[in-house]
Amino acid sequence: MAILVPRREAHRKVRKGKNNGTASRCNTVAFGDWGLMSLDNERVTSRQIEAARQAITRYVKRGGKIWIRIFPHTPVTKKPLDVKMGSGKGEPQYYVAKVKAGTVMFEIADVTEEQAKEAFRLAGHKLPVRTKIIKKEEF
């Protein structure tokens, strides 16, 4: 299981920040024929991304082409159990991708409509956001 983590980072620890509004980038199907779009603003962990990717890959039996459009750049820190208040911020435990409503998280090509819909339905169960399956608009 290859969990996604950044190779290098400018800062080991970052603040939580806000995750409001709708996506202004990564909000269309760019590479594949079908996309899995987020309907909520949420932090998606690298483990959740990997679980969704595995669900898609297993369902299409390693057929088609899959794109992961989100990457977990943001470290999340946690202090150990039974530690008193103060004495600084905890150590980074895992990485998250901040996903806004309207972000296309996964894309797939070279599969049938039924396969794409079922694969994305299974992947959606692994994610902490409500999702919608969208088709690429042909211009």
What is the set of domains in the chain, with CATH numbers? 47-76+92-139 (3.90.1170.10)
* Whole-number average pLDDT of the chain: 93
> What span, in angstroms and rounded, lies between the C-alpha atoms of 118 and 40?
21
pLDDT at 78: 95
For residues 39-59, give the mean pLDDT: 96
| Residue 89: partners with Cβ closer than 8 Å, 6 or more residues away | 13, 77, 79
For residues 48-66, give the mean pLDDT: 93
Convert the pLDDT of each residue in 13-37 to its tens digit.
Answer: 999 999 999 999 999 999 999 999 9
pTM value?
0.92
Q: Which residue has the tokens 């932090």?
A: 43
For residues 108-132, give the mean pLDDT: 95
